[in-house]
Amino acid sequence: MYEIPGFTDEHHIPSAIAVLTSGGDSPGMNPAIRGVVRAALHRGIKVFGINKGYSGLIIGDLEEMNSASVTNIVQRGGTILKSDRCEAFKDPAVRHQAAEVLKEKGIDTLVVIGGDGSLTGAHYLTLENDIRVIGLPGTIDNDIYGTDDTIGFDTAVNTALEAIDKIRDTALSHESLFLVEVMGRNSGFIATHVGIACGAEMIVIPEYEVKVDAISSQLASNREQGKGSSGIIVVAEGPKPGLTYDLAKQLKNHGQQPKVCILGHIQRGGIPSGHDRILASCLGASAVDYLCAGYNDIMIGVRRGKIVDTPLAQVIEKSKELDEALFQRALLLHK
């Protein structure tokens, strides 16, 4: 499914690899961990699992893994290593402490599976300390520069769709309008993909200004065309809680009677899709290939079906643009 680079130079075999998951959990983190562990063991490299992301790293909560440690996890949601958000890791002194923990155990390389924040932490860790790092994009948000796809995005979109298809039944039966909030504080990737796939009447995302007038006239036009008065508007959660309720209020002022349904954390859990399992497995195993070939301070992702690497500095600095053409296509399909 993915074109995998073949490396010839393999003179940088790590003494031992540690792996952690960080930030919001995402479906596919487990097959990614499995990929790292099995590929490392295949080369005779010791591999350690760190519990609870950077919080566990700082206090040395880690243990050696073997092939059985990752048996029967390819199909499991969440992360067997657990995850966390760790404010303390933003402090360089704390990162130094983390590096010392690794060195004491004879570990010289770390694989970080997480979102943009987690990859930022990984970049600083290697810049300031003698630890090599590889990042893997593990987030449902798909908001990471340097990869077309992130581990968990596909599953999250499908989970949201399953829920919205059910809400659609009720919307049709009662001729009612639903605002369905999906995840995405700063990015509308989930909302755009879900909106297209569920046939939403409108999609609201943080990247573009919300035009209540436009939503109202779209709904009015639907009624005039004989499409009925039920509808689904997919709304990305946006930067602060409550924005979907604010939008509902504004629509009420325009004579609409919307109901709000917040999908929330169901989007983060569940069995990873086949797509996410394959992506995660390939990226996990590739992390070990890249380490053995001497790479450091990169994220491994996919572009146009190829496994590719991007310097973490770029991943952090640049933001992934929403596909404008795709969003325009969605607008066309509403009409």
Ligand X SMILES: Nc1ncnc2c1ncn2[C@@H]1O[C@H](COP(=O)(O)OP(=O)(O)OP(=O)(O)O)[C@@H](O)[C@H]1O
Q: Is 194 part of any known ligand binding site?
A: no
CA 291, chain centre distance (Å): 23
The Cβ-side half-sphere exposure at 116, using a 13 Å CA radius, reads: 18
Where in 96-155 is the site for ligand F6P (CB under 6 A)?
115, 139-141
Is 213 in the active site? no
- Give residue 35's identity as a one-letter amino acid code: G
- Binding-residue pattern over the window 237 to 276 for ligand F6P, x denoting contact by CB under 6 A: x------------------------------x--------
CB closer to Mg ion, 69 vs 142: 142
Distance CA 88, CA 50 (A): 17
- Closest of 30, 70, 31 to residue 47, by C-alpha: 70
DSSP string, 190-252: HHHHHHHHHT-SEEE-TTS---HHHHHHHHHHHHHTT--S-EEEEEE--SSTTHHHHHHHHHH
Q: Find where tokens 């300390």 sit.
A: 129
Token digits for 86?
Answer: 């760790």
Stretch 40-79: interaction string toward ligand X, x if CB under 6 A: --------------x-------------------------
Of the pair 118, 230, the CB lying nearest ligand F6P is at 118
Span interacting with ligand F6P, options 47-55, 96-104, 129-137, 180-188, rule CB under 6 A: 180-188
Residue 90 interface partner, choices ligand F6P, Mg ion, ligand X, none, CB cut-off 5-8 Å depending on type: ligand X
Q: For the chain, give the number of residues.
A: 335
Output the CA–CA distances (angstroms, integers) from residue 58 to 44, 45, 128, 295, in the order listed: 26, 23, 15, 24
Catalytic residue among 25, 84, 108, 141: 141
Does 124 sit near ligand X (CB under 6 A)?
yes
Candidate ranges 5-13, 52-60, 183-191, 283-291; the one touching ligand F6P (CB under 6 A): 183-191
Give the 3-state secondary structure of residue 113. strand
Distance of CA 82 to the CA centre of its chain: 15
Sign of CA dihedral 275, 280, 281, 286: positive
Q: How far is the CB of 227 from ligand F6P (least distance, A)?
A: 31
* Range 221-240, binding ligand F6P (CB under 6 A): 237
Q: Note whether 90 binds ligand X by CB under 6 A.
A: yes
Residue ranges in contact with ligand X by CB under 6 A? 22-24, 54, 85-87, 89-90, 114-118, 120-121, 124, 139, 141
Residue ranges in contact with ligand F6P by CB under 6 A? 23-24, 115, 139-141, 183-185, 237, 268
Give the residue numbers of the binding site.
Answer: 24, 34-38, 85-86, 115-118, 139-141, 168, 183-185, 199-201, 237, 259, 265-268
